[in-house]
Amino acid sequence: MSDGNGIIIRDIDVPFWRIVMILVKWSIASVPAMIILMILASLIAAIVGVILAALGVPVPSTPT
């Protein structure tokens, strides 16, 4: 990039409601992604729990 032909962006003209719609789409798209991540975390926790139970590691009881 030492040839002197760099580009400088000084202003981007994006309407406010277009940005709002992009953020709404991102929010809607994040819901299925969070569901998938929670399912993966649950599966990992279940696998770790089964492995620890098979090894005989005591599980702390919850207070009643």
Domain ranges for the chain, please list them. 14-50
Looking at every residue in the chain, the average pLDDT score rounds to 88
Q: What is the pLDDT of residue 2?
A: 60
Distance (Å, rounded) from C-alpha 8 to C-alpha 28? 33
Q: What is the pLDDT of residue 33?
A: 94
Q: Phi and psi for 11 in degrees, rounded to 5?
A: -155, 140
pLDDT at 25 over 90: yes
Q: Are 59 and 53 in contact (CB under 8 A)?
A: yes
Section 30-44 average pLDDT: 96
pTM summary value? 0.59
| Tokens at 21, concatenated | 């719609």
Q: Please give the residue that has the higher pLDDT: either 20 or 11.
A: 20
Q: Are 18 and 25 in contact (CB under 8 A)?
A: no
Q: What is the pLDDT of residue 64?
A: 64
